[in-house]
Structure 1
Amino acid sequence: MTAVPVSDAAPRAAGDAVRDVLQQAAQRLAGAGVPDPQVDAELLLAHLRGQSRGEVQAAVVRGDDLTRAEADAYETLVARRAAREPLQHITGVAYFRHLELAVGPGVFVPRPETETVAQIAIDALRAAPGPWPEGEGPVGVDLGAGSGAIALSLATEVPHARIHAAENSPYAFVWTKENVRRVGAENLRLVFADLAVAFADLDGTVDVVVSNPPYVPDDAIPRDPEVRLHDPEAALYGGPDGLDVVRQLSHVGRRLLRAGGTLVIEHGELQGTQIRELLTADGWRAAATHPDLTLRDRTTTAIRP
């Protein structure tokens, strides 16, 4: 049996200092190419101990030690992350805006850049013209809801709105349904349906349609193993140029939205020009592309004439 180099293993001895354990774990994760090794090392230990990341950092300051059982369990978690299993699959949690979402195999893990997509849709919903009959409000639709990150953000941050979300992957839908149950947003309706036919009862009445569709070209291989090996292909690949589903969204959006309603689409940083041209050719007005917090083009909006 080949011996494991000391530098490649998390500490195991009882009484190991939390500070040393974290330092060695971060070194191991960095050597495996994990983008934020110190952050992930702290979050893994926080998950193991049922603590916040801040409590783990406080344990470092105090000079706390790990028990043998904790050290052994932590070694297992670090090994999984070093193999580039997504952090969120290990902890079972993804954080999105103010939400704590359950995630795992079969569903796309929501990314921080999508938070700006949600914000644009939220702003459009809040700006939707009223007044509405008593008990009603603006209407939003999320097509391809995945974990429910965008739909639940809309439902909880615009509580007077009525939100409808559709997902057509049975593997992802399990997670969507669980997160809707956990959050308990009473103004959110979730259905299992393909985006091409979803919500025919809402045709011409919707204020905002938002989607984070698959937009990676079929022959483009994602660089990060977490994406390439663990995110579902149905949530990644969008045809030869990555825009097959965007073309569908253009037609479905025109069906669902009222005149003056807003279409909000997430996409890759180099696809803004193509999507603006596509939407304009389909008759949309005021197509515009917006950056995310890293200043990369991330979202294109358009107005239904």
Structure 2
Amino acid sequence: MTPREVVREAVARLRAAGVASPEYDAAELLAHVLGTTRSRLGLDAPELTADQAAAYDALVTRRANREPLQHLTGTTGFRYVDLQVGPGVFVPRPETELLAGWAIEHVTRIEQPVVVDLCTGSGAIARAIADEVPAAKVYAVELDEAAHGWAARNLAGTGVELRHGDMADAFPELDGTVDVVVCNPPYIPLEAWESVAPEARDHDPHLALFSGQDGLDAIRVLERRAAVLLKDGGVVGAEHADAQGESAPAVFAATGRWRDVRDNRDLAGRPRFVTARLAASV
């Protein structure tokens, strides 16, 4: 069969399986098998070899079973960098690029900025900041052992200082010296288990997904730790679920430690991440 024919068949299989982006995924998987990129994929090329067709069919079957596309290709793009991902690490979402962009915008205004990325996961945000702001000193921490291993791969050679540990007491030597704290914490309420897409629920580490009955437990920990890490006037940004556009900012507003508490929307107009500035000490 030609590339066009196998992709057409794969699209139908993926759509029937409930995959959200069957055309994109089918093309990405074929490009992966052929060792090229989706943009360079020639659907009018000669027929696939038997080995290529078999390899593609196996990947399409796995994707139809809702295994994440990025686990099958082994990589994902995040802003201007490519990350290695696979089983055991949360696959960074496009929406998180907005949070990273917010952090980068603040960091570029500061001479020799210090940045801490809590719950770094794959290392996506820390890697993007180090890539786009070479003058920044970036620190990152991850609790999950498997995810920490992926972060170590992605942050190797970047200058980012990565540690394996809990964000609740991370980097005590930096207390009161940090300019920007950024975090993509777990934020899904335990009661929302059934509503989570199979790609995330069945393949992403639960430590990166669920955070107490209301989904805000990790954000409460973040608020407390960021208040200690940041210097006066330092800023924090944290992603949250689109249903938490009021409750996530309220975590910060309720303590009296923060000013300029506001929520920020994604490109689809949905509440996506909260930002706040540490008030000056009295």
Q: TM-score scaled to structure 2, two decimals?
A: 0.96
Residues 1:244 and 2:226 are matched in the alignment = no
Residues 1:108 and 2:81 are matched in the alignment = no
Q: Deviations for 1:5-64, whole angstroms, at most 9, x for unmatched residues?
A: xxxxxxxxxxx11111110111111111111111101100111111111221xx21x442
Residues 1:154 and 2:129 are matched in the alignment = yes
> How far is 1:258 from its partner?
0.4
> How far is 1:96 from its partner?
0.8
> How far is 1:67 from its partner?
1.0
What is the aligned partner in structure 2 of residue 197 from structure 1?
A: 169
- C-alpha distance in 1, partners of 2:244/2:196? 18
Answer with 1 or 2: which has the greater Rg. 1
- C-alpha distance in 2, partners of 1:69/1:254? 56
What is the aligned partner in structure 1 of residue 192 from structure 2?
A: 220
Amino acid aligned to 2:75: V
What is the aligned partner in structure 2 of residue 5 from structure 1?
A: none
Amino acid aligned to 1:42: A
What is the aligned partner in structure 2 of residue 165 from structure 1?
A: 140
Q: Secondary structure at the match of 2:48?
A: coil
- C-alpha distance in 2, partners of 1:276/1:234? 22
Q: In the alignment, which of 117, 138, 143 is matched to residue 118 of structure 2?
A: 143
Q: In the alignment, which of 209, 219, 222 is matched to residue 181 of structure 2?
A: 209
Moved over 4 A (4+): none
Amino acid aligned to 2:17: A
- Identity among equivalent pairs (%): 47
> How far is 1:127 from its partner?
2.4
Q: Secondary structure at the match of 1:262?
A: strand
Q: TM-score scaled to structure 1, two decimals?
A: 0.89
1:156 to 1:63, Cα distance in 2 relative to 1, 3 A = closer
Residues 1:292 and 2:256 are matched in the alignment = no
What is the aligned partner in structure 2 of residue 6 from structure 1?
A: none
Q: Secondary structure at the match of 1:226?
A: helix
Equivalences for residues 7-18 of structure 1 within 5 A = 16-18=1-3
- C-alpha distance in 1, partners of 2:122/2:267? 21
Q: Secondary structure at the match of 1:219?
A: helix
Residues 1:41 and 2:14 are matched in the alignment = no
What is the aligned partner in structure 1 of residue 154 from structure 2?
A: 179
Q: Deviations for 1:234-288, whole angstroms, at most 9, x for unmatched residues?
A: 0000101100110111110010000010010100011121122221111211100
Pairs aligned (count): 277
Residues 1:279 and 2:264 are matched in the alignment = no
